A and B are shown apart, each in its own frame.
Chain A
Amino acid sequence: MKPQTSQTTFGPRRGALRVLGGVAVALALGALRPIRALAAEWNKAAFDARALPDALKALGIAGAVDSDKVELKAPEIAENGAIVPVEITSAIPGTEALYLFAEKNPQPLVAQFDLSGAEPFISTRIKMGESARVRAIVKAGGKFYSASREVKVTIGGCGG
């Protein structure tokens, strides 16, 4: 585990902490507790990858097969590419991780969710630069299962 440096932790909040004193410090330290338990490093190689195959390689995903046990909900037409609701549900026993990709985004990997007690279900909102296939991949028992949907984006949501 990487030690937290107090500078990055408290830099932006220093003024507020001074005003509120010890109580705020105690609260802020409490707030950091769950973050300290973070396990793996953020997968820079996978998130920086500019093409889906490179992202998959960096994630160690190989041989993903389409499965109707992976349910991916996404709109057919997203009027605003800045807010595209996406929901993944896996009915595959032993699901341990969910991966989400927007295949034509500058960096296709959007998110990885490692499950260690949460149900194999995630709902969130993502940005899409242009119309593209959204893909969900599920890891279960060391194997990979996939589902995808084409989403037509009317106004892109990355730049502007």
Chain B
Amino acid sequence: MADAMKIRATLSGDVADVKVLMFHPMETGLRKDPATGEIIPLHFIQRVLATHNGKTVLDAQWSQAVSKNPFLHFRVKGARAGDRITVGWEDNKGEKASIDATLA
């Protein structure tokens, strides 16, 4: 799952500006497979956790109404060059991924 996520973290003063893309279908459970006509089961990211040097700074709970391939943009104050920002997700099937970035 090396390509399950992308992250871009930039430092502006002491604020880290973090943009994350998560490659995930975010199925609502309402959509039909156009080929088979079968309902595609609910499959979505439920939790997103962001840490700054290992300390949790953002803990999110999501529904299936977050768009496919979710985009998340957040900021962390009190950051310095060399600090590490990690973002991880877990979906309703227990699949997980995470990525980190070192602030420069």
Rounded to whole angstroms, the CA-CA distance of A13 and B97 in the bound complex is 11
- A118 with B47, Cβ < 8 A, contacts A111-B62, A124-B72 known: no
CB distance from B83 to the nearest CB of A (A): 12
User: In the bound complex, do residue B31 and residue A160 qualify as a contact, i.e. CB atoms below 8 Å apart?
Assistant: yes
CB distance from A51 to the nearest CB of B (A): 14
A125-160: contact bitstring with B at CB < 8 Å (1 yes, 0 no)?
Answer: 111100000000000000000000000000001111
Q: How many residues of B contact A (CB 8 A)?
A: 47
A95 within 8 A of B: no
User: In the bound complex, do residue A114 and residue B58 qualify as a contact, i.e. CB atoms below 8 Å apart?
Assistant: yes
Interface of B is mostly: strand
User: In the bound complex, do residue B73 and residue A35 qualify as a contact, i.e. CB atoms below 8 Å apart?
Assistant: no
Rounded to whole angstroms, the CA-CA distance of A71 and B87 in the bound complex is 25
CB distance from B78 to the nearest CB of A (A): 7
User: In the bound complex, do residue B96 and residue A12 qualify as a contact, i.e. CB atoms below 8 Å apart?
Assistant: no
Rounded to whole angstroms, the CA-CA distance of A111 and B73 in the bound complex is 14
User: In the bound complex, do residue A159 and residue B51 qualify as a contact, i.e. CB atoms below 8 Å apart?
Assistant: no
- 15 sampled A-B residue pairs with Cβ under 8 A: A32-B98, A35-B49, A37-B56, A39-B59, A40-B61, A112-B60, A113-B59, A116-B59, A117-B76, A119-B15, A122-B74, A124-B70, A127-B64, A157-B67, A158-B30
